[in-house]
Structure 1
């Protein structure tokens, strides 16, 4: 009995390989290339709106984490470079449109796993209601996304688009 094995490249798993569109880009001085995103870590603490302005003043925006691979490599970079002592604002908010989280560019924030954590209460974020309208990466919850009051004072990750 003979068997014919046919391997179709389009059906082979891509696990462990880089996306076809992934290419190395050059970032300005002071920015790190993480998964082809140019990011800068600002470890001083300020409110979400103040940090939005900090990023804006250097020609950047607060980081947008809408890709699980980018989030993975960003968190890996944070841990490998000992930046994990800080909690970081990211560019998501539902301020002015409760429950409808948007990035600063207006696009919708993906909900659920693998982006949002549970902040130790076993209830997946966001769960802060009208008092918690801005989003950060929580150092105490494996750098998953958590909603929080915009007046909290945290560090920030800026990104050049």
Structure 2
């Protein structure tokens, strides 16, 4: 697990993005959000539901499911979950290919980066991209893949939300 996070952090140093936010900035967040990696996030370890239910839940809190634009944000979230002492579980993030099979995008329409450093290695050929076909259309930080992203059936309900809200 530590090796995976170390690789993600090293990769984050080399990956630039027009959407990248400065993770060193301390932001002021409205409750229930807290600053994690310079973003206002709310990870609810008690609430579970389908992808659409958890997206609605995040919106009711004043945010939306998190978009992982950088490996650094991904690593910051993993560190936060571990620091809380929470058991490894599944967490919904804001990506899916429900609108067009095989075209993975964040809920804001931005295409999701496939492969390293965010996607789990799975399947017989160890691919680092979704392989669930039409039955698995939503992105999850997966417990069985050490919190790397995997595709999962959107109606799965044993999944917690990671919400992102605006800074104040």
TM (norm. structure 1) is: 0.82
Aligned to 2:49: 46
Select the structure that is richer in strand: 1
| Count of residues in correspondence between the two structures | 144
Aligned to 1:23: 25
SS in 2 for 1:51: helix
Select the structure that is richer in helix: 2
Counterpart-to-counterpart distance in 2, 1:111 and 1:50: 25
What's the RMSD between the two structures over aligned residues? Answer: 1.9
2:65 equivalent to 1:82: no
> C-alpha displacement at 1:24, in angstroms?
1.3
2:147 equivalent to 1:148: no
Q: Report if aligned partners of 1:84, 1:139 keep a CA contact under 8 Å in 2.
A: no
Write the mapping of 1:9-158 to structure 2, written as runs, cut at 5 A: 21=22, 22-43=24-45, 44-119=47-122, 122-153=126-157, 154-158=159-163
> C-alpha displacement at 1:51, in angstroms?
0.5
Q: Report if aligned partners of 1:64, 1:92 keep a CA contact under 8 Å in 2.
A: yes
Structure 1 residues not aligned, in runs of 5+: 1-14
> C-alpha displacement at 1:135, in angstroms?
0.7
Structure 2 residues not aligned, in runs of 5+: 1-12, 14-19
> C-alpha displacement at 1:30, in angstroms?
2.0
